[in-house]
């Protein structure tokens, strides 16, 4: 593949219609990235695309669909082919599973399958279809994890297992794709006030939790680093400091 031509950087963000994904979309658009954004709910996705195009004068390709659907992933690849590069891929789309959350021992095989399809299989599959374009740009893959991957919290077993598996997949991909010039990290954004958290906790008052914007200092730092220095690491976005290997 020929070297990339000078031009706008391109970011692909899944689950970009609300919450963390929407915050990251607005941040990267403000940094001058053209965007390829996806989410299941097309209306808010298109609204954000129109706003970012107007406010930041960037190109935004909004593709509604489920990342677990191979045809949707093919649409993402076609958008990347049109853009001719992918500098950043944020695998943010996540599936919580049935609510109210059940004990791990009581979780159904279908619940496992649905959560794993979105939280583990889809991120790996998206990296696979975007691999040529990430390699062309020496791109960075960010897989959004969770403290549930390590916490062993009652009721969070299915979701937590999927994120723990994603952590392992991230470090494995980092090792396997190093020769392609592709860097891969996992990021635990920490507790936030989001629609998914509200679904998980029902009627609980989550007003004391920080909004996704509270993690902006971390993301500004992350995207300013040489990706190859970060690859294979797992970060906590709300930690007091972030370390980089010497």
130-157 per-position pLDDT tens digit: 999 999 999 999 999 999 999 999 999 9
Q: Is the pLDDT of residue 28 over 50?
A: yes
Asked if residue 222 belongs to a domain, the reply is yes
Q: Is the pLDDT of residue 52 over 60?
A: yes
Residue pair 107/148 in contact (Cβ under 8 Å)? The answer is: no
The one catalytic residue in 33, 159, 218, 235 is 159
CA 20 to chain centre: 9
Asked if residue 201 belongs to a domain, the reply is yes
Confidence (pLDDT) at 2: 43
Asked if residue 242 belongs to a domain, the reply is no
Asked if residue 245 belongs to a domain, the reply is no
- Sequence-separated (6 or more) residues with CB below 8 Å from residue 232: 170, 171, 174, 175, 184, 185
Domain count, the chain: 1
CA 192 to chain centre: 15
How many other C-beta atoms can be found within 10 angstroms of the C-beta atom of residue 226? 11
As a whole number, the mean pLDDT across the chain is 92
Q: How far apart are CA 120 and CA 145, in angstroms?
A: 10
155-191 per-position pLDDT tens digit: 999 999 999 999 999 999 999 999 999 999 999 998 8
- Sequence-separated (6 or more) residues with CB below 8 Å from residue 217: none
73-114 per-position pLDDT tens digit: 999 999 999 999 999 999 999 999 988 888 999 999 999 999
Q: Is the pLDDT of residue 194 over 80?
A: no
**Percent of the chain topping pLDDT 90:** 82
Asked if residue 174 belongs to a domain, the reply is yes
User: How much is the pTM?
Assistant: 0.94
Phi and psi dihedrals of 191, rounded to 5?
-65, 130
The interaxial angle of helices 19-30 and 216-224, nearest 10 deg, is 50
Range of the domain at 144: 10-236
Report the CATH number that the domain containing residue 27 is assigned in CATH.
3.40.50.720
Confidence (pLDDT) at 14: 98
Asked if residue 70 belongs to a domain, the reply is yes
Residue 159 annotated to the active site: yes
Q: Is the pLDDT of residue 6 over 60?
A: no
Asked if residue 72 belongs to a domain, the reply is yes
């Amino acid at each position: 593949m020929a070297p990339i031509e000078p031009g706008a950087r391109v970011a692909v963000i899944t689950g970009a219609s609300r919450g963390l994904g929407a915050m990251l979309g607005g941040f990267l658009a403000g940094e001058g990235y053209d965007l390829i954004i996806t989410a299941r709910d097309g209306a808010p996705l298109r609204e954000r695309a129109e706003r970012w195009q107007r406010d930041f004068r960037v190109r935004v390709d909004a593709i509604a669909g489920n990342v677990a659907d191979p045809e949707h992933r093919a649409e993402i690849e076609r958008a990347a082919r049109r853009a001719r590069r992918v500098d950043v891929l944020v695998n943010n789309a996540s599936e919580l599973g049935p609510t109210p959350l059940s004990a791990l021992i009581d979780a159904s095989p279908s619940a496992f399958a649905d959560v794993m399809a979105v939280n583990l299989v889809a991120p790996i599959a998206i990296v696979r279809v975007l691999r040529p374009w990430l390699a062309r740009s020496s791109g960075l893959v960010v897989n959004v994890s969770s403290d549930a991957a390590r916490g062993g919290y009652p009721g969070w077993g299915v979701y937590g297992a999927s994120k723990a598996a994603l952590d392992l997949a991230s470090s494995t991909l980092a090792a396997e794709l190093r020769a392609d010039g592709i860097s891969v990290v996992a990021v635990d954004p920490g507790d936030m006030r989001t629609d998914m958290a509200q679904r998980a906790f029902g009627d609980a008052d989550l007003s004391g939790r920080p909004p996704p914007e509270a993690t902006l200092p971390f993301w500004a730092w992350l995207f300013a680093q040489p990706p190859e220095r970060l690859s294979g690491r797992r970060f906590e976005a709300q930690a007091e400091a972030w370390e980089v290997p010497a």
